Amino acid sequence: MCGIIAYIGNKQALPILVKGLRRLEYRGYDSAGVAIAQDGKINRVRSVGRIDNLDEKLKDHTVEGTVGIAHTRWATHGGVTEENAHPHFGCDGKLVLVHNGIIENYRELKTNLGDTHEFKTQTDTEILAHLIEFHYEQQKIHNETPDVRLAVEHALAHVRGTYGLVVMHADHPDLLVAARLGSPLVVGIGEGEHYIASDATPMLAYTKKVIFLEDGEVAEISRDNMETYNLKDEAIEKHVEEIEWNETQAQKQGFDHFMLKEIFDQPTVFEDAIRGRYNLLEGTANLGGLNMSDDEMRSVNRVILIACGTASYAAMVGKYAFERLAGIPTEVDVASEFRYRDPIVDEHTLVFGVSQSGETADTLAALREAKRKGAFVRGIVNVVGSTIARETDGGTYIHAGPELAVASTKAYTNMVAIMVLYALQFGRLKRVSPATGQRLLKALREIPAKMHEILEQKDLIKEMALKYKDYKDFLFLGRGINFPVALEGSHKLKEISYIHSEAYPAGEMKHGVNALLASDFPVLAIMTKDQLYDKMRSNVEEIKARKAPILLIATKGDEGAKELTDDVLYVPDTMELLEPLLNTIPLQLFAYYIAVELGRDVDRPRNLAKSVTVE
C-alpha cells in the first residue's frame, strides 16, 4: 500500500502535494517524492524516509508549477532507496508516474521491451513508465497525434496485476491521466482544479465533491474537465459524490479504528500476498526470494519457525503446512526462548524468522544465533527493508501493507498464506503431486471471497460480543490446526479488551482445565469440519454438560452445531490446511467489538507497542 496525491489547477502544486503526502503517510512511509511539470520540463525530488526528509530536501530546490504528482512509498519490490522511490520516469525524462499496487508480470514486460529501454530501479513500477512511453512513441512513429490517455490504455492492456496510477507528461501540462485496477483512486473536484489521491484524506481541506474511480477505468483530467473511459476506450458517465467524512475517518476509510479497517483489508491484501507467486499448471508455488537451489531445498531435513506473539501463532499453522505438504519435521520456537536455549541447528536446518515489523529484537537475535550455527536463515516479513529482511539471506515479503493497529490481524493471515505457499514449494520437490498442489492453490484462490462472507456477518459477531462482554475470563478451544487459531483468538481478546483468557487444545481439558468449567466461564470452541470434528464435538458436549456458556465457530451447513448452543458463528468450508485463514477472522472481530464496548483504546492498547525493538 502506498499513497498517491496529484494536483492540476491554478495554485502552486508543491505545498498541496507535500501537505497531501503527510495526510497519506499512514499508507506508507519509507520514502517519498514529488514531480512537477513546468515549461516543458519535469522537476523531480525524492527522498528516503518520512515526508519530513523530503520537505527538508525540497528547501534546496525550486520546484514551481501548477500540475504535479507525488507519492509516499511502502516498498514491495526493490529496497528502500531514493532510486526506487516514486515518481518514476521513462527514458526521455518527459513521462513520469506514480503507482500503488503490484505489477505481476513486470519481468516479462521488461524482457519484451528489450534493451531499447534503460531501467534504473528494482521496482515493478518503473516498467509502467517505459511501457506507456513506448506506446506514446509508437503513436508518433505512426504519425498519430500523441495521446497520453490512449498510450496508458494500450500499455495497461499488457499488464497483469493491480494499479492505481497517475501519469504526467511534460509536453501535456494541462493533463493528468489516472487509471485504477485493484488499488483505489479518488478524484476531488474544485473550482478550475482537480485533486487525485489514493483516498479522500488529502483533498478534504479543499473540496468535499469527489468521484471514485472503479476498476478498469481510466480518467483524463484537466483543470476544468474530467472524462472517464473503460479499457475498451468507451466513455463512461461518472457520478459526483459528497464526502461526509472528516480527515481521520477518511484515513480509516470510514472504519472507526485502524484495527477494524485492517481486519476488513484482509481479502485484498491476501490477494496481494499470493498474486504471481504460484503456478497453477504445475501445482506449485514460485516464491522467488528463497535463494536456495533445488538441491539445497531437498537437503533441508528440519524447519524451525521463529517468531513472537501473533506471528508465532501464524508459525504454528505453518508447522502443519510444512509437515503435511513437505514432510519436513518442523518446530515453532518463540524467539525469546530459542535465543537462550543453545539451539541445535546445522547446515540442513532451514530457519525462518516470521515477523510483521521485521524489527522484533528477540526474533532478530534468534536468527543471528541460527546463522552463526550454519543454518539457512530466511525471513517472512512485512516491512520491506527492515532489519530482519536485510540480515537474512533471502525470504519473502508478505505484502500486507502498513499495519497501524497494535493488534496484528492482516499480517497474521498473510504470514499463514506465505508459509502454506513455501510448504507447497518444498512439497512439490518431494512428495506432493501436481493434482494435490492444484487443489490447494484453487482453494487458496477462493479464500478472499470466503473472507468477505465472514466479514459480512459483522453485525451478528457484534451481537455475540455484546452478549459475552461482561465475563471476566474466557477459554478458547481448538484441536489440530485450529489449536493455533484458539491461541490467536485468545491473544487478540487479551491484548485489546484486557479480559483474561486462555487457550487450550481441547483434548487436554480432562487433564486439568475441566475443573474451571462453570456458568461464569464461557468457552469459545472452534468446531469446524476437519478430521478432528467428531472428537471436538464430544469435547463440546462435555462442556455443555458442565453448564459453561458456549460460543461455537462451525462450518456453514453444520446445523447440528445448534444442538450444542444458540451461539454459533458459521464460516465457509475450505481445505483443512486453510481453515485458520478463515476461522481467525470471527475471533478478530469478536475481540474487537468486545474491546470497543468496554471502551478500550483499541488501536493502542495499554502497555503494548507495535514494534518490540528491545528485549
Which residue among 408, 490, 574, 583 contacts ligand F6R (CB under 6 A)?
408
Question: Does residue 165 contact residue 100 with C-beta atoms inside 8 Å?
Answer: yes
Three-class secondary structure assignment of 528-544: CCCCCHHHHHHHHHHHH
Residue number, nearest CB to ligand F6R: 309
Orientation angle between helical segments 148-156 and 126-141, nearest 10 degrees: 120
Orientation angle between helical segments 51-58 and 13-24, nearest 10 degrees: 160
Does residue 392 touch ligand F6R according to CB under 6 A? no
Name residues whose C-beta falls within 8 Å of residue 273's C-beta, 6 or more positions apart in sequence.
398, 399, 400, 414, 417, 418
C-beta of 249: minimal distance to ligand F6R in Å? 24
Q: How far apart are CA 385 and CA 537, in angstroms?
A: 46
Using a 10 angstrom Cβ sphere, with 0-12 exposed, 13-18 middle and 19 or more buried, the burial of residue 454 is buried
C-beta of 120: minimal distance to ligand F6R in Å? 32
Q: Which residue has the cell 516479513?
A: 381
Q: What φ, ψ does residue 555 adopt, rounded to 5°?
A: -80, 135
Does residue 103 touch ligand F6R according to CB under 6 A? no
- Assess whether 610 carries a catalytic annotation: yes
DSSP 213: P
Q: How far apart are CA 117 and CA 109, in angstroms?
A: 11
C-beta of 416: minimal distance to ligand F6R in Å? 13
Q: How far apart are CA 333 and CA 366, in angstroms?
A: 9
Does residue 387 touch ligand F6R according to CB under 6 A? no
**Residue number, 386 or 574, with CB nearest to ligand F6R:** 386
Does residue 363 touch ligand F6R according to CB under 6 A? yes
Find the DSSP H helices in 71-118: 106-113
Other Cβ atoms less than 10 A from the Cβ of 137: the count is: 17
Does residue 584 touch ligand F6R according to CB under 6 A? no
Give the x/- contact pattern for ligand F6R in 592-611, rule: CB under 6 A: -------------------x
Which residue among 67, 407, 416, 485 contacts ligand F6R (CB under 6 A)?
407
Segment contacting ligand F6R (CB under 6 A): 56-64, 83-91, 196-204, 309-317? 309-317
Using CB under 6 A as the binding rule, the residues of this chain from 460 to 519 that contact ligand F6R are 495
Position 472, amino acid: K
C-beta of 335: minimal distance to ligand F6R in Å? 8
Q: DSSP for 287-322? A: -GGG---HHHHHH--EEEEEE-HHHHHHHHHHHHHI
Q: Which residue among 2, 94, 492, 494 is the active-site one?
A: 2
- Assess whether 2 carries a catalytic annotation: yes
Does residue 164 touch ligand F6R according to CB under 6 A? no
Which residue among 309, 402, 489, 586 contacts ligand F6R (CB under 6 A)?
309
Give the x/- contact pattern for ligand F6R in 12-51, rule: CB under 6 A: ----------------------------------------
C-beta of 406: minimal distance to ligand F6R in Å? 6
Total of residues contacting ligand F6R (CB under 6 A): 15
Q: Is residue 354 within a helix (H) or strand (E), and if so which, with residue range?
A: strand 349-355
Does residue 417 touch ligand F6R according to CB under 6 A? no
Q: Which residue among 208, 209, 462, 610 is the active-site one?
A: 610
Q: How far apart are CA 577 and CA 420, in angstroms?
A: 8
Which residue among 76, 201, 336, 360 contacts ligand F6R (CB under 6 A)?
360
C-beta of 295: minimal distance to ligand F6R in Å? 31
Does residue 220 touch ligand F6R according to CB under 6 A? no
Which residue among 357, 387, 555, 584 contacts ligand F6R (CB under 6 A)?
357
C-beta of 398: minimal distance to ligand F6R in Å? 10
Q: How far apart are CA 586 and CA 579, in angstroms?
A: 12
Which residue among 131, 186, 311, 589 contacts ligand F6R (CB under 6 A)?
311
**Residue number, 357 or 574, with CB nearest to ligand F6R:** 357
Does residue 398 touch ligand F6R according to CB under 6 A? no
C-beta of 454: minimal distance to ligand F6R in Å? 19
Position 499, amino acid: I
Q: What angle do CA 96, 102, 105 make, to 5 degrees?
A: 95
Other Cβ atoms less than 10 A from the Cβ of 296: the count is: 14
Other Cβ atoms less than 10 A from the Cβ of 519: the count is: 9
Which residues contact ligand F6R (rule: CB under 6 A)? 308-311, 355-357, 360, 363, 406-408, 495, 611-612
**Which residues are tagged catalytic?**
2, 610
